[in-house]
């Protein structure tokens, strides 16, 4: 009993130090955090200039455009997820830590999401308004992003973990991971489209919720296994 | 006769179609210091990674307290301190933050102890300087500060003397000797000359073709 209690405390304190260090090192290199955000904003701002500024056209394209931009922006930031830990050797220490690796990588992935996905969600209402999406559909768009971007971060984490020991992993991650994120994209935009068409969106949200639950519960194991393989090279 | 703390049994490892070692067996008792010797590429680091459980494409067995490591891996991890070739020091953090993280992975630790350990490795006054502004030797010393805090029973140390000055090496040697007397088993590689009495040597790289 006391043994179990001690190991629980050990787990909490390990997760605590991981959390603290991730936020601290993200804060120290905060310019890098801005990259995906700037990409996200620029793609959406340039789109009307490049294609058509017609409000009707933009309204119909808004959901898809925001979603594609969010997907690519998250993807861009993924190769950094484990890279610096691999380069300086702290990944070895994480793998050797007596606490379960899948919980540590779950924490790391969620922190990554909160620093990339979450700011995108907070920016999305402004960009959606710019694209003439009606106000009543904006919460739906934000909710789909809230449920969808963690899935992208977690699935992308598997790709990042597999390619971390390769020199040019960036492009490989996209090739590996993009096909797996297509369902998220389809249901994300589909939900907003249904809302615009006046249909019920609860079914769409159920499916997105399922994807989120699956990603949260299963991908940490896959990421942990992939990291162990990468570290043993 | 006590049982060996760590026992390697008939290890065989091949990398890139080259046999690094085969039929390698040894026992390590509490208080032993074992030094791996051999030219570059002889498989010293690979052997250390096999012993620590990071590298798993090998044949043979490693046992810990008489039990196969695979069966008691979490106990083994709790008793292990591994300092690798890469020092695990993040350049965007200060020595104090780095040490807090690296130690925190093993056991919760008080801040005064961290300060003390940094002082012992000669980093007093550098606690709040970002590691990217430190010299290579100082970065190495941040990683070495873990030695002064650890209560692990087995230390696996890969090239820890790299970039450390002569005085630092001597101090570290004395400290390792002291720790071994207290019962810590140490496996290390280094190209430095060491003057530790009673050190055991294991020569790698004699397998030809």
CB atoms within 10 A of CB B45: 17
Cβ-contact B13, B58 below 8 angstroms: yes
* Strand partners for B67: B64
Torsion of CA B115, B116, B122, B126, to 10 degrees: 10
Superfamily of domain B1-79+152-209: P-loop containing nucleotide triphosphate hydrolases (3.40.50.300)
- According to DSSP, residue B81 is labeled E
Q: Which helix (H) or strand (E) holds B96?
A: helix B95-104
pLDDT confidence band for A1 (50 / 70 / 90): very low
Q: Compare CB distances from B102 to A29, A93, A98 and report the shortest one's residue.
A: A93
CB pair distance less than 8 Å for B104 and A9: no
Q: What angle do CA A218, A221, A224 make, to 5 degrees?
A: 145
* Smallest CA–CA distance from A25 into chain B, residue: B92
Smallest CA–CA distance from B57 into chain A, residue: A232
Q: How far is A8 from chain B (nearest CA, A)?
A: 12
Of A20, A24, A89, the CB nearest to B87: A89
Per residue in A198-209, is it b (16+ CB within 10 Å) or e — as a string?
eeebeebbebbe
How far apart are the CA of B197 and the nearest CA of chain A, in angstroms? Answer: 31
Picking from A24, A92, A99, the nearest residue to B93 by CB comes out as A24
* Minimum distance, in Å, between the CA of residue A45 and any CA atom of chain B: 33
User: Which residues in chain B are closer than 8 Å to A95, comparing Cβ atoms?
Assistant: 54
Structural domain range at position A42: 2-231
DSSP letter at A104 equals H
Average pLDDT for runs of 10 along chain B of length 209: 81 86 88 88 88 88 87 87 89 92 86 91 90 91 92 90 88 91 91 81 67
A84 touching chain B per CB within 8 A: yes
Question: Which of chain A's residues have a Cβ under 8 Å away from the Cβ of B57?
Answer: 232
Residues of chain A with C-beta less than 8 angstroms from the C-beta of B100: 17, 20
Residues A26-65 pLDDT 10s? 998 888 889 999 999 999 999 999 988 899 999 989 999 9
Query: Do A88 and B91 lie within an 8 Å CB cutoff?
Result: yes
Q: How far apart are CA B172 and CA B164, in angstroms?
A: 10
Structure token pair of residue A110: 């969620």
Q: State the residue for tokens 């793609």.
A: A43
User: CA-to-CA distance for A223 and A228, rounded, in angstroms?
Assistant: 9
The encoded tokens of residue A63 equal: 């959901």
Cross-chain Cβ contact B105/A87 below 8 Å: no
pLDDT at residue A5 greater than cutoff 70: no
CB B142 within 8 A of CB B95: yes
Q: Give the contacts of A148 (CB within 8 A, at least 6 positions apart).
A: A67, A70, A184, A185, A187, A188, A208, A211, A212
Q: Determine, for residues B54 and A21 on separate chains, whether the beta-carbon distance falls below 8 Å.
A: no
Q: Do A231 and B74 count as a contact with CB atoms less than 8 A apart?
A: no
With a CB cutoff of 8 Å and minimum separation 6, the contacts of A41 are A123, A127
Given strand B6-15, what is the order of strands in its sheet?
Answer: B18-28, B6-15, B59-64, B67-68
- Closest C-alpha to A134, from A205, A63, A51, A44: A63
Whether A14 sits inside 8 A of B84 (CB atoms) is no
- Chain-chain contact of A232 with B56 (C-beta, under 8 angstroms): yes
Residue for token digits 């739906």? A140
Q: Looking at the 3D structure of chain A, how many domains does it have? A: 1
CB contacts, 8 Å: B85 with chain A: 89
Backbone angles phi, psi at B156, to 5 degrees: -115, 115
- Structure-token pair, residue B175: 């400290």
Closest CA to B28 of B184, B197, B196: B184
Residue A97 with chain B: CB contacts under 8 Å: 77, 105-106
Model pLDDT for residues A185-233, shown as the tens digit of each residue: 999 999 999 999 999 999 999 999 999 999 999 999 999 999 999 988 7
Of A214, A32, A22, the closest CA to residue A110 belongs to: A22
Residue A7 has a pLDDT of 67
Phi/psi at A167 (nearest 5 deg)? -75, -40
pLDDT tens figures, B86-140: 888 998 999 999 999 999 888 888 888 999 999 999 998 998 999 999 999 999 9
Residue A13 has a pLDDT of: 87
Q: What is the pLDDT of residue B151?
A: 87
**A18: nearest CA in chain B?**
B101
ipTM for this model: 0.89
Question: In A62-205, which ranges are E strands?
Answer: none
pTM: 0.90
Q: Find the farthest-apart pair of alpha carbons in chain B and give their distance in angstroms, rounded.
A: 53
Tell me the shortest Cα–Cα distance from B38 to chain A, in angstroms: 21
pLDDT given for residue B208 in this prediction: 44
With a cut of 90, say whether residue A113 has pLDDT above it. yes
Give dist(CA B62, CA B13) in Å, integer.
13
| B72 neighbors B18 (Cβ within 8 angstroms) | no
Question: Residue A144's closest CA among A124, A174, A166?
Answer: A124
pLDDT of the residue at A6 = 59
The β-bridge relationship of strands B33-37 and B80-83 is: unpaired
CA atoms within 13 A on the CB side of B91: 10
Q: What is the DSSP pairing of strand B154-158 with strand B6-15? A: unpaired
B101 to A20: CB separation less than 8 angstroms, yes or no: yes
H helical segments located in A51-168:
55-78, 83-88, 90-96, 101-130, 138-163
């Amino acid at each position: 009993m006391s043994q179990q209690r001690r190991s629980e405390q050990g787990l909490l304190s390990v997760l605590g130090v991981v959390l603290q260090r991730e936020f601290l090192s993200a804060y120290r290199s905060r310019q890098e955090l801005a990259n995906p955000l700037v990409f996200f904003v620029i793609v959406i701002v340039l789109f009307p200039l490049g294609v058509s500024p017609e409000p009707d056209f933009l309204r119909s394209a808004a959901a898809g455009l925001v979603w594609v931009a969010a997907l690519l922006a998250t993807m861009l930031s993924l190769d950094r997820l484990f890279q610096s830990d691999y380069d300086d050797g702290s990944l070895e220490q994480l793998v050797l830590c007596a606490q379960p690796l899948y919980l540590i990588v779950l924490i790391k992935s969620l922190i990554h999401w909160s620093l990339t996905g979450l700011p995108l969600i907070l920016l999305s209402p402004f960009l959606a308004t710019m694209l003439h999406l009606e106000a009543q559909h904006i919460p739906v768009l934000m909710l789909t992003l809230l449920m969808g971007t963690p899935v992208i971060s977690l699935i992308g984490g598997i790709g990042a973990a597999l390619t971390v020991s390769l020199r040019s992993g960036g492009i490989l991650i996209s090739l590996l991971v993009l096909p797996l994120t297509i369902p998220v994209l389809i249901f994300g935009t589909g939900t907003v489209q249904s809302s615009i068409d006046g249909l019920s969106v609860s079914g769409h949200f159920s499916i997105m919720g399922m994807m989120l639950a699956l990603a949260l519960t299963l991908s940490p194991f896959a990421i942990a296994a992939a990291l162990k393989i990468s570290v043993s090279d | 006769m006590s049982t060996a703390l760590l026992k390697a049994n008939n290890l065989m490892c091949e990398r890139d179609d080259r046999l690094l070692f085969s039929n390698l067996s040894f026992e390590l008792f509490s208080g032993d210091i074992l030094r791996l010797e051999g030219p570059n590429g002889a498989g010293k680091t690979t052997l250390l990674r096999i012993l620590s459980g990071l590298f798993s494409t090998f044949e043979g067995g490693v046992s810990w307290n008489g039990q196969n490591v695979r069966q008691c891996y979490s106990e083994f991890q709790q008793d292990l301190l591994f300092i690798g070739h890469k020092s695990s020091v993040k350049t965007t953090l200060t020595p104090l933050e780095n040490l807090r993280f690296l130690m925190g992975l093993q056991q919760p630790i008080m801040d005064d102890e961290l300060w003390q350990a940094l002082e012992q490795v000669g980093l007093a006054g550098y606690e709040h300087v970002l590691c990217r502004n430190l010299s290579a030797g100082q970065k190495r010393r941040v990683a070495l500060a873990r030695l002064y805090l650890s209560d692990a029973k087995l230390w696996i140390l890969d090239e820890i003397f790299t970039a450390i000055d002569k005085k630092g090496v001597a101090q570290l040697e004395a400290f390792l000797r002291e720790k071994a007397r207290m019962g810590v088993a140490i496996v290390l590689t280094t190209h430095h000359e060491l003057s530790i009495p009673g050190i055991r040597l294991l020569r790698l790289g004699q397998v030809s073709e």
